[in-house]
Amino acid sequence: MRWTLDLPYERPPLNANQRLHWAKKAALTKQVRAASFYAAKNAGIPICDRVRVTVTWFVRTTTRRDADNVVPTLKALCDGLVDAGVVDDDTPTWMEKVMPVITYRPGQPASMQLLIEVIP
């Protein structure tokens, strides 16, 4: 089984190059976790033994971007899936995290999606 969750972001809210005050970063992380929690609950994703998670950032321009910078957002999204009860933990035993994907889509709005796939 697989689910594609549309996220309420045009760009990653957390990135590896940010230098935020710890309180602002904590609040932003909490908000990202809540976004994936509610998206998973609304999609009706059941408890799974093991999943593969991929975040895709759809961009409108060909500006060079580093996929590594999206990893903090991926981490918070995965924590939200654990909060939603999709899997027991976000360790490799229960969750395989794929490096974020950045896809150029000219003429369409920037957006982000989270793909969750059940794997053996």
Q: Indicate which CATH number applies to the domain containing 104.
A: 3.30.1330
- Reported as a single tens digit per residue, the pLDDT across 50-104 is 999 999 999 999 999 999 999 999 999 999 999 999 999 999 999 999 999 999 9
- pTM, 2 dp: 0.95
41, 87 contact by CB (below 8 A): no
Number of domains composing the chain: 1
The closest of 50, 35, 62 to 90, measured between CA atoms, is 50
Sign of CA dihedral 30, 55, 103, 35: negative
The closest of 116, 107, 95, 118 to 39, measured between CA atoms, is 116
- Reported as a single tens digit per residue, the pLDDT across 37-49 is 999 999 999 999 9
Q: Return the bridge partners of 115, or none.
A: 4, 54
Per DSSP, 62 falls in state -
Q: Say which amino acid occupies 75.
A: K
The residue segments making up the domain with residue 35 are 2-118
